[in-house]
């Protein structure tokens, strides 16, 4: 038997009425080490002052979740003790902590999973995503949301309109990354945009750029099937990456746009050759926005960027983007539903992660509610 390590940050014992039936346990998907996910009954979390308890409904699988599963780490973040996975979630408020007035039991909410300190200079300056003391769910040692019940700061919960589904609510997390990237990159009406990488974030970046008014968006990827999907989702031009020659790919981008270069490139793959292409392909005086996280060091044509005044900006998660992402979905400007290609129950988490590891589909969604017998 492996000793159960109770989370320090959020989990304490108490009894609560679940949305389906009484339970004094809390089924959770727990990563113990690389390639070792176990379904375990954990204590039910009590909401602290300013928090709410949430009966989790839907949780999407993110690339970072898969990295923790397959490698046991991402950069300096290492899984050293059992950790509940998941951070792309929505749910139903099931209990209020002291002082919470903006929510009530029964509210359907999307969950922004990064809670900053709110006190440091970065937080006060509006860049809370860069807070050095941020508590981000499913990032060691913080536990995630792939569980029946969790807690979250009430001001990081966003009420969902009746016509927005719980699955759409869960997809606000990756969509917020894309919306924030478009904001950082300065996407506006009439801009030509290149998106490198047609994974979930790249697809959402392409859709967000179109929603922000981009006149043409070209998207690149090493997978033709993903590019075909991108075309169906609204990409104006698709380009298969079949070479690591960044300058050649940059030339193809220009050709696809009728001899014009994109003013903005949003790089979502993290691959060295894609970052190089992003710089070569972007119009002089334009903007390259780095979203994808790859190797800690890459070789890039920085002199080319400097001489042509191509600005380079980083993107780390998102900041003040959830409400904008929700507006995009609720008004119909972005339709995220087609991105969900596979669905599993919480009990089938291992199957879901193995499917994600194998590259199946676009977005895999896990239903965390208790299934009726």
CATH classification of the domain holding 32: 3.90.180.10
End-to-end CA distance of the chain: 29
In this structure, are residues 265 and 181 in contact, taking their beta carbons and an 8 Å threshold? no
Query: Between the CA atoms of 170, 175, 176 and 179, what dihedral angle is there, to the nearest 10 degrees?
Result: -160
Average pLDDT of the chain to the nearest whole number: 93
Question: Do 119 and 188 fall into the same domain?
Answer: no
3-class DSSP state for residue 151? strand
Residue 358 binned pLDDT confidence (cut-offs 50, 70, 90): confident
Tokens representing 366 are 């896990």
What pLDDT is recorded for position 14? 29
Question: Do 145 and 179 fall into the same domain?
Answer: no
- Helix axis angle, 200-211 to 172-185, nearest 10°: 60
CATH number, domain of 209, equals 3.40.50.720
- Tens of pLDDT, residues 158-197: 999 999 999 999 999 999 999 999 999 999 999 999 999 9
Q: Would you say residue 326 lies in a domain?
A: no
Sign (positive/negative) of CA torsion 220, 226, 227, 230? negative
Q: What average pLDDT does this structure show over 98-105?
A: 98
Question: Do 20 and 142 fall into the same domain?
Answer: yes
Counting residues of the chain whose pLDDT is more than 90, the rounded percentage is 88
Question: Do 289 and 360 fall into the same domain?
Answer: no
Q: Looking at 6-15, 38-47, 97-106, 276-285, which range is the least confident one?
A: 6-15
Q: Would you say residue 329 lies in a domain?
A: no
Question: Do 305 and 281 fall into the same domain?
Answer: yes
In this structure, are residues 282 and 265 in contact, taking their beta carbons and an 8 Å threshold? yes
User: Rounded to the nearest 5°, which phi and psi values hold at 96?
Assistant: -105, 140
Q: Helix %, strand %, coil % for the chain, to 5?
A: 30, 25, 45
Question: Do 28 and 152 fall into the same domain?
Answer: yes
The pTM assigned to this predicted structure is 0.91
Tokens representing 19 are 């949305």
Tokens representing 348 are 């089938």
Question: Do 167 and 51 fall into the same domain?
Answer: yes
**Secondary structure (DSSP) of 246-298:** HHHHHHHHHHHTTT---SEEEE-S--HHHHHHHHHHSPTT-EEEE-----S--
Q: Would you say residue 72 lies in a domain?
A: yes
- Tens of pLDDT, residues 316-329: 999 999 999 999 99
Residue 24 binned pLDDT confidence (cut-offs 50, 70, 90): low
Q: Would you say residue 4 lies in a domain?
A: no
Which residue in 158, 156, 151 sits closest to 108, CA to CA? 158
Q: Would you say residue 301 lies in a domain?
A: yes
| The residue to which tokens 């290609």 are assigned | 341
Give me the domain span that covers residue 45.
16-171+336-367
In this structure, are residues 313 and 337 in contact, taking their beta carbons and an 8 Å threshold? no
Q: Would you say residue 118 lies in a domain?
A: yes
What pLDDT is recorded for position 351? 96
Q: Would you say residue 372 lies in a domain?
A: no
In this structure, are residues 209 and 182 in contact, taking their beta carbons and an 8 Å threshold? yes
* Distance in angstroms (rounded) separating the CA atoms of residues 170 and 110: 6
**Cis (ω within 30 of 0) for the bond into 174?**
no
In this structure, are residues 213 and 188 in contact, taking their beta carbons and an 8 Å threshold? yes
Question: Do 233 and 349 fall into the same domain?
Answer: no
Question: Do 214 and 196 fall into the same domain?
Answer: yes
Tokens representing 103 are 């929510």
What pLDDT is recorded for position 11? 32
Question: Do 39 and 128 fall into the same domain?
Answer: yes
Question: Do 23 and 163 fall into the same domain?
Answer: yes
Question: Do 182 and 109 fall into the same domain?
Answer: no
Q: Would you say residue 152 lies in a domain?
A: yes
**Domain count of the chain?**
2
User: Rounded to the nearest 5°, which phi and psi values hold at 67?
Assistant: -65, -40
């Amino acid at each position: 038997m492996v000793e159960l390590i109770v989370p320090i940050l959020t989990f304490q014992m108490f009894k609560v009425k679940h949305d389906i039936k009484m339970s004094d346990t809390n089924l959770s998907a727990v990563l113990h080490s690389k390639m070792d996910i176990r379904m375990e009954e954990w204590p039910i979390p009590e909401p602290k002052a300013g928090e709410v308890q949430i009966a989790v409904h839907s949780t999407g699988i993110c690339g970072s979740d898969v990295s923790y599963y397959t490698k046991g780490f991402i950069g300096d973040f290492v899984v050293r003790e059992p950790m509940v996975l998941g951070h792309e979630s929505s749910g139903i408020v099931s209990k209020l902590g002291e002082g919470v007035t903006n929510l009530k039991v029964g509210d359907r909410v999307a969950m922004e999973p990064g809670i900053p300190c709110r006190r440091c200079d970065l937080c006060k300056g509006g860049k809370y995503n860069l807070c050095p003391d941020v508590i981000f769910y499913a990032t060691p040692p913080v536990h995630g949301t792939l569980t029946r019940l969790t807690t979250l700061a009430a001001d990081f919960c966003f009420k969902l309109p009746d016509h927005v589904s719980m699955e759409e609510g869960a997809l606000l997390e990756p969509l917020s990354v894309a919306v924030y990237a478009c904001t950082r990159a300065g996407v506006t009406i009439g801009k030509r945009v290149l998106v490198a990488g047609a994974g979930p974030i790249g697809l959402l970046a392409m859709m967000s750029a179109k929603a922000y008014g981009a006149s043409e968006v070209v998207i690149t990827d090493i997978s033709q099937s993903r590019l075909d999907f991108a075309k169906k989702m609204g990409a104006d031009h698709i380009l298969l990456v079949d070479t690591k020659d960044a300058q050649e790919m940059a030339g193809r981008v220009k050709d696809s746009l009728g001899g014009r270069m994109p003013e903005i490139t949003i790089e979502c793959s993290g691959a060295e050759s894609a970052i190089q292409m992003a710089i070569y392909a972007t119009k002089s005086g334009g903007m390259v926005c780095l979203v994808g996280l790859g190797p800690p060091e890459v070789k890039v044509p920085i002199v080319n960027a400097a001489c042509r005044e191509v600005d380079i900006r980083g993107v780390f998660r998102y900041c003040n983007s959830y409400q904008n992402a929700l507006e995009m979905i609720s008004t119909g400007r972005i339709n995220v539903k087609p991105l969900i290609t596979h669905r599993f129950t919480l009990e089938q988490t291992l199957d879901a992660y193995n499917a994600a590891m194998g590259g199946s589909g676009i977005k895999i969604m896990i239903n965390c509610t208790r299934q009726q017998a």
